[in-house]
Amino acid sequence: MKRIIVIICAILGMIVGVAIGEAVAGISYLKWLSIGGEIGFVDPIVLNLSFLKLTFGIWCKISVGGVIFMIIFALVAQWVVRWLKV
């Protein structure tokens, strides 16, 4: 249960960090927060079996701000889990 809480908080931290990085990309001294890249399939892979159509795809955007906030959220989640004694 503890690991699940920490993982969920880390994913939320990545989402918040990437959003903040994109929001401050226009500010010259905070532009470094938006540096990053994209990993995954840009176009999904489609398997068409005429009676069944499956689409596979995964995509992730990573930035400096996302990594920083992911680490912060994971550390805060560990502290909260210890504090709640879960």
| Total-model pTM | 0.78
Strand, helix or coil at 24?
A: coil
Per residue in 68-79, pLDDT tens?
Answer: 999 999 999 999
Give the whole-angstrom CA distance, residue 86 versus residue 71: 21
- For the chain, what is the domain count? 1
Per residue in 7-41, pLDDT tens?
Answer: 999 999 999 999 999 999 999 999 999 999 999 98
Residues 6+ apart with CB under 8 A from 85: none
Q: State the residue range of the domain holding 40.
A: 2-84
